Amino acid sequence: MTSFGTFFLPGPTEVRADVLQSMTQPMIAHRGAAFESLFSELQTGLRELFRTTRPVYVSSSSATGLMEGAIRNAPAGPILSLVNGAFAERFADIARSCDREVRVLRVADGDIVSVAAVAQALAERWYAAVTVVHSETSTGALSDIAAVARAAHAHGAMILVDSVTGVGGAPVLTDAWDLDFIFTGSQKALALPPGLAFAVASERYLLQADSLSNRGRYFDVVEFEKAARKHQTPNTPAVSLLYATQVQLRAMLAEGIDARWARHEAMRVATERWAMERTAEGLLTGIAAAPGVRSPTVTALQLPARLRDSDVVPALARRGFTIGTGYGALVGSTVRVGHMGDHTVRGLAQCLDALTDTLKDALRTVS
């Protein structure tokens, strides 16, 4: 574990050595008792993680696969997409690429679409579903998905949630918030290698999906549901990644999901405090996400006009820490710290100290 605690990319995130090691176990048949018992154990952990009594689908794909699945399985009709960054834009693009009529409610990067604006749009016209990104990884803004879900349901729309940098880091109460489709990816706050995605579908979403004729095959929720009832996946899963998930879920349950959320919130607060101090010193110009809507898993830091992300990220890497460049519209002008997964406030402080020194050096060099 010598290298642990230096990789602060907002996905993929650092993976513990014991999790990596678990993937060297021999293969098992994916139709058989050993697999079914593995799958059942994963279900217990994943249900606790998503706070649901529904099955949690395990998809051998990246998260974008389930973004497409969310749309393919959604009821026929127009889609209302809340767009506040690059990943939210991707959700809307995928809906268009699936031949959906899409209305976009857009706000500036760093903000979130207000629930009042959502309610107003839904009152003007009926939509089959609303798409929302819980934690917008390009800006670090956190949307109130519980409130958006209430607004959607009040107007007869389903709620489709990208919680790729939410689940496992930010509180998610799938059943209590009555979410119709929520998905995440393995390589973000779950601190697993890339390659798996997880989702929960509400019963009402599943029931209507069954009557759709063009929902495709690989991401068909009806197939996922049928297979899950037999403790299986619809097709050959990435078995090695399931081993990794088993080890990681055991660790997560030992920590406790609430404690995990609290640890992420503490990392958010630490990053925010550090960034405010560096802003006062002129090393930064602020945080991209508006106060009060900052994600517990990722912070996009605004650089002084004289600096680009490419002046900072490689220089920090030479000090031993990896963070992300800007993304989408914020490429160049921001750097992103992924404070998620198994990272701690203590490990994060070392990365932020190195970033302070890197910013000082970089500003000296360019001036």
Q: Which residues bind ligand PLP (CB under 6 A)?
A: 11, 62-64, 87, 133, 137, 162, 164-165, 185, 188
Supply the minimum distance, in Å, between the C-beta of residue 306 and ligand PLP.
Answer: 29
Supply the minimum distance, in Å, between the C-beta of residue 237 and ligand PLP.
Answer: 16
How far from chain centre, in Å, is Cα 337? 14
List the beta strands (DSSP E) in the chain. 57-59, 79-83, 102-106, 129-133, 135-136, 141-142, 158-162, 181-185, 197-201, 286-287, 298-302, 324-325, 334-338
Give the residue with the Cβ less far from ligand PLP, 162 or 311.
Answer: 162
Give the residue with the Cβ less far from ligand PLP, 164 or 257.
Answer: 164
Residues 6+ positions from 337 with CB-CB distance below 8 Å: 8, 10, 271, 298, 299, 301, 323, 324, 348, 351, 352, 355
| CA distances to 118, 132, 180 from 114, in Å | 6, 12, 20
Pairing of the two strands 129-133 and 79-83: parallel
How far from chain centre, in Å, is Cα 174? 14
Give the residue with the Cβ less far from ligand PLP, 91 or 127.
Answer: 91
Q: Measure the CA angle with vertex 335, ends 330 and 340; round to 5°.
A: 110
C-beta separation of 154 from 123 below 8 A: no
Give the residue with the Cβ less far from ligand PLP, 61 or 240.
Answer: 61
Pairing of the two strands 102-106 and 79-83: parallel
Give the residue with the Cβ less far from ligand PLP, 5 or 140.
Answer: 140
How far from chain centre, in Å, is Cα 330? 18
Give the residue with the Cβ less far from ligand PLP, 185 or 296.
Answer: 185
Say what the alpha-carbon torsion angle 267, 273, 279, 281 is, to the nearest 10 degrees.
-120
Give the residue with the Cβ less far from ligand PLP, 162 or 342.
Answer: 162
- Coil, helix or strand at residue 159: strand
Supply the minimum distance, in Å, between the C-beta of residue 215 and ligand PLP.
Answer: 19
Give the residue with the Cβ less far from ligand PLP, 91 or 274.
Answer: 91
| Ramachandran area for residue 337 (φ above 0: left; ψ -120 to 50: alpha; else beta) | beta
Supply the minimum distance, in Å, between the C-beta of residue 37 and ligand PLP.
Answer: 27
Supply the minimum distance, in Å, between the C-beta of residue 298 and ligand PLP.
Answer: 8
Give the residue with the Cβ less far from ligand PLP, 136 or 220.
Answer: 136
Produce one character per residue of 335-363: b if its CB has 16 or more CB atoms within 10 Å, e if not.
bbbbbbbbbebebbebbbebbbebbebbb
Supply the minimum distance, in Å, between the C-beta of residue 97 and ligand PLP.
Answer: 15
C-beta separation of 51 from 173 below 8 A: yes
CA distance 248 to 226: 26
